[in-house]
Structure 1
Amino acid sequence: MSTSHTVAVPCLPASLVFRKEAISVNRYSKFCKQALLIAVLLLSLLPASLVHAESPSYSDLYIAIGDAIMASKQDDKQAAETALEEFKTAWEQEDHPAKESKQVESALKEAEQAKGSAQRLESLTALSKALHTLEKVENPVDEKAQRLEFKKAVTPDLEKLGDTIRSGDMEAIRGSVQKFLATWTRNERPVREQSIAAYGTIETQMAFLRIALAEDSPSQTDLEQTYTALEQAITSFAAGETTQGSAPVTSDSLDTLTSLLADSRTALAKDDADTAVAKLREFITSWPNVEGQIRTKNAALYTKIESQVPLLAGKLTSEKADIKKISGDIASLQQQIELVKESTSYTFWDSALILLREGLEALLIIIGLVAFLKKAGQPQLAKWIYTGSAVGIVASIVAAVLMTTILNSVTIGSSREIMEGAIGLAAAAMMIGMGAWLHRKSSVTAWNDYIARQMGTAVSSKSAWAIGLLSFLTVFREGAETVVFYVGIAPNMKLSEFLLGIAVALIILVAVAVVLLKAGSRIPIHRLFAVATVFIYVLAFKIIGVSIHTLQLTDIFPTSIVNGLPVVAAIGFYPTWETIAGQLVLVVTVVTMFAIKKWMPARNTVSS
């Protein structure tokens, strides 16, 4: 019941940018562009020793294993593979000279090559055991001494609890339960680390005590039987009888929890309170096996579940129970667990769309520059445009891959979700700004003026170097902006998906380039920009939802559930007022920009 960042898995450890208007912008804009360019270049020059200055702890490795286990239970192959990649990244940041490290690497390889969820779960169990063995070698701990120390710490309050239960004084019993609960919370760590079975039994019996006390007329027999089971679990653990570090992975998952809550609500709808209570008791029994998945993602929800579910089960036994309110509370818990369960990840297509839009923009500019040279009677200078563009493409790809790798390295740990959410919102804000710029460029006249401004100085001087540099800056400017957008989605996608998206986008861009070169001025450029704008806003909608949801899971933003609405992770829609408000800001902004665009020409016409 503590809020430390650990995961309930077998063998738990002993430790646990440049915005537009390229050359003809004002000085402030130029300064911002130069600063962002320097920042990107400096990041690319960071030594590996600086990037990996803080080595990951074993807790990071166990969290990754726990995420992989939960994803495998839900048959989510992509999420499981992402968690394994996080484990591998964290593992490779440290040297492990002990021979036991070979067992970890072998188990990791088997997990990566697993054919299905069942095989992957078996491999993850072996990986957890191997990691636990290695940690005991590198950080030896006297587990027997820990168990004896635990028993010594909890025995006084445990015995006092037994005495008060036998006395039958309900007020005294409630006070003793709260006191023992506080003692258990302070001392539970060695139990959780050494034996998930013992930890689950103790947690369950504590919850059952609270259920019994929440009833109108608590049963003395139930209290005494529950206390006996609690005492036996603690005694067995202290004697080392339940420290089976090799305990198998259970079949419980977050789906199990939401299903039990749904069954409880269904029973209440049929006025079957007994079945509803039974389902909540099943929930409590399954809870210790999967609580780590929630504890590491949303500590506030973890505490809320532990405190509320036993009380709800107890209240249902009362003749005066407010069934409607209790059902609503259960529905709220169910929906909040659904929000944790629906972990949004981006696909290669999201990666491809970003590069497609930015690449299309750069491509149109480059083709426009070539056309401008032909009209100016300087077609021989076109090769310098192509050369500069090629160099810009290579530099952009290198910067993007490097930035993604760095971000994945420094965001493994408890602050990962906070960084993902904050950077995602920043990327979405830039996307909105970029969309506004593209929307303004959807005028053919404005587009032609834009191209003319870019080439004016370079062509007049007939400088091959200036023309090549112009095309390089044009492409790399879009590439640097692409890096910023990728930073917003990279932590939620596999590196292989990220690279595949880049490859797909490049292939499509080559095909588009061929068509544009052959079709020339017959291509409606303003239409292409309009399509690009739509793509930008759609992805911005998703990023806003995902980012706010991520910050809600870390308690940076509050979570106000909107009952009755589904979770649509594919588009980043989560039924909370906070995520909906953020996405409404985007929608209102887009509608306002379109309205202004329609209004301005009409106003100019009336004025003339």
Structure 2
Amino acid sequence: MGKKIIPIIFILLLIMGINVHNPVLAAGNSNEDMTRAEVYVNQAIDLASKGDLSGAGKAYDQFNKTWRQIEEGIKADSATAYRDIESNMGKVVYALTIKKQDQVLVALKDLKAVNDKFASGGYPKEAGFKEEDITLDEFIMLLQETKKEVKEQNQHDALEGIKKASDSWLSVEGVVVAQSATVYSDSERDLVTIQAMLSDNPPNYKEANKTIDNMINYLTPLANKSQYTYWDAAMILIREGLEALLVVIALMSFVKKSGEGKGKAWIWSGVLSGLGVSVILAIIVKFIISSGAFGNNNALIGGWTGVFAAVMLLYMSYWLHSQSNIADWNRYIREKSQTALTTGKLISLGVLAFLAVFREGTETVLFYIGMASQIKLQSLLIGFLIGAAILGILAYLMVYVGLKLPLRPFFMVSSIIVFYLCIKFTGMGIHSLQLAGLIPTTNSVSIPSIDFFALYPSWESTIPQMILVLGALLIILFKNIKSKKLITSTNNNI
């Protein structure tokens, strides 16, 4: 029984481990923490007044490092103070970037003033910091503000703006995907592309401005819609559930073909765990920490689960392909004493089902929560039931057709489907990690954007997909050569 909770433990560890790279100081008095941190601001002011901007920059960097360790305490005490300090820190970074002594001094003194105000208790105590979800109109305004910074070629503030938009994307993506899957995919692609353009050295302001303009143009018509139908709700479940369904059905068909009854229990355990954790996490995000505050972590979770699932799908695809020879399959059954799957493979089936359902399930639930205020409850429920019914029919047809296929075509078709999902999950996973800022992005106009394969115009996500395809072709070629040699050798012996 304990083994069946492996998927849940795995994902909880993953979620808890996401922010281990950002240590936080032990809880203490945030006013005293700020007083200690401000020593570095005073050093920076002293050095800047002497004309040593390089030294001032290094001193400010020390303040910034300390700030990252104490900011949670300040954020919990006063949201207003937190925002004022962050805003003035941005001004300091910009002033140091353009290397103008007078502006550096002004920015540092302004930062010192808000720090002093907080340390002396000048900011009122608040109930903590909670970023509110934003509307699509407000999201478009974020893009417009970022565009303004891009036009002024203010790299730091432009980057901060597009990162804020990326973090806020979770608040509005449900509204977008309910109306257009294409616009949803384009938006996620362009958010990553703009960050890469602004991070370049030198920044590509011209293309960044053009891409932001394009985003504003295709998102604006969607912001005008205030009511959704049951079909909008149904399409969300169909679109988001199809990839997970393909994985689960491929696994179910496989265990039925192998005659391994225990495999079904593991798969259903993974499916139900994935659904349960998805709902729990989505509710926590929506009603406790908000979509806006969770935006970056959502991309990290989606990215890592996508990558892990892709690795497991790659193995599954290779294994299915290797069993497409009937003689090999019969020999495998005999070696396992009529037990088609080892315990390790049974566990992996459950984990893979969990990852596939969890990755798609969390977004689906968040989409529904996001559009709940703009659709009648009756329409939402009807749409959900229609989507579930369509997925159920597709599942039945897939299983029925799969069981009717002879062994060799079954394994060949299954391996192709699973390999396709491996390629798509790889692209989606890496792209999500790029959206979170964990992996850099190198854009290329020579790479097309193809949603069906989750192909994005960046080398970091495309190269692994190309390696997978090339590796698969080499394996097939090697097996064909080996098979021909075996046939030739057999004929010669005869």
TM-score, structure 1 as length reference: 0.47
Aligned to 1:204: 87
Q: Deviations over 1:371-430 (max 9, x none)?
A: xxxxxxxxxxxxxxxxxx7x54753444434764899899x9999679636633540331
Q: Does 1:234 align with 2:115?
A: yes
Q: Which residue type is aligned with residue 395 of structure 1?
A: A
- Within-5 A mapping of 1:369-518: 391-392=261-262, 395-401=265-271, 404=274, 420=305, 423-438=308-323, 440-441=324-325, 446=326, 482-494=349-361, 507-508=396-397, 511-512=400-401, 516=404
Cα displacement (A) at 1:540: 1.3
Q: Kindly tell me: are residues 249 and 531 of structure 1, through their superposed partners in 2, closer, same or farther at Cα, counting changes over 3 Å? A: same
Aligned-pair CA distance for 1:349: 1.6
* Match of residue 179, structure 1, among 40, 59, 62: 59
SS of equivalent to 2:75: helix
The one-letter code sitting in structure 2 at the alignment partner of 1:229 is: D
1:289–1:52 CA distance, 2 compared to 1 (3 A): closer
The structure number with the bigger radius of gyration is: 1
Residues 262 and 334 of structure 1 are in contact (CA less than 8 Å); yes or no, is this contact kept in structure 2? Answer: no
Partner Cα separation in structure 2 for residue 584 and residue 494 of structure 1? 28
Q: Residue 230 of structure 1: SS of its match in structure 2? A: helix
Following the alignment from structure 2 to structure 1, what is the Cα–Cα distance between the partners of residues 254 and 162? 53
Partner of 2:322, secondary structure, is helix
Match of 2:203 in 1: 327
Distance of 1:560 and 1:52 partners within structure 2: 26
Which of the residues 573, 580, 584 maps onto 2:462? 580
Would the aligned equivalents of 1:157 and 1:179 in 2 still touch at CA under 8 Å?
A: yes
- The CA deviation string for residues 431-468 of structure 1, in whole angstroms up to 9 with x for no partner, is 23224225x33xxxx37x956996x99xxxxxxxxxxx
Which of 344, 347, 350 pairs up with 2:240? 347
C-alpha spacing 1:392/1:476, structure 2 compared with 1 (3 Å): farther
* Counterpart in the other structure of 1:44: 4
For 2:153, give the aligned amino acid.
A
Distance 1:365 1:156 in 2: 68
CA distance in 2, matches of 1:243, 1:544: 46
Cα gap change, 1:450 to 1:473, in 2 (>3 Å)? closer
Tell me how far apart the structure 2 counterparts of residues 261 and 214 of structure 1 sit (CA, whole Å).
18
Deviation sequence 1:123-165 (CA, Å, 0-9, x none): xxxxxxxxxxxxxxxxxx88xx532x14532455545555666
- Call closer, same or farther: CA 1:504–1:330 in 2, change over 3 Å: farther
The residue that corresponds to 1:340 in the other structure is: none
Gaps of 5+ in 2: 171-193, 212-238, 285-293, 366-386
> How many residue pairs were aligned?
387
* CA-atom RMSD in angstroms: 5.8
Conserved? CA contact 2:275–2:358, under 8 Å: no
TM-score, normalising length: structure 2: 0.56
Distance across 2 between alignment mates of 1:181 and 1:559: 22
Q: Relative to structure 1, is the Cα distance of residues 52 and 205 closer, same or farther in structure 2, using a 3 angstrom cutoff? A: closer
Instruction: Indicate conservation of the 8 Å contact 1:356/1:505, yes or no.
Output: no
Q: Percent identity?
A: 13
The answer to whether the 8 A contact 1:431-1:540 is kept is: no
Question: Is the 8 Å Cα contact of residues 202 and 233 (structure 1) preserved in structure 2?
Answer: yes
Gap regions ≥5 residues in structure 1: 1-40, 64-140, 268-274, 295-304, 313-323, 336-345, 367-388, 458-468, 517-522
Q: Which moved more, 1:397-406 or 1:479-488?
A: 397-406
Q: How does 1:557-596 map to 2 (within 5 A)?
A: 559=440, 561-564=442-445, 565=447, 571-596=453-478
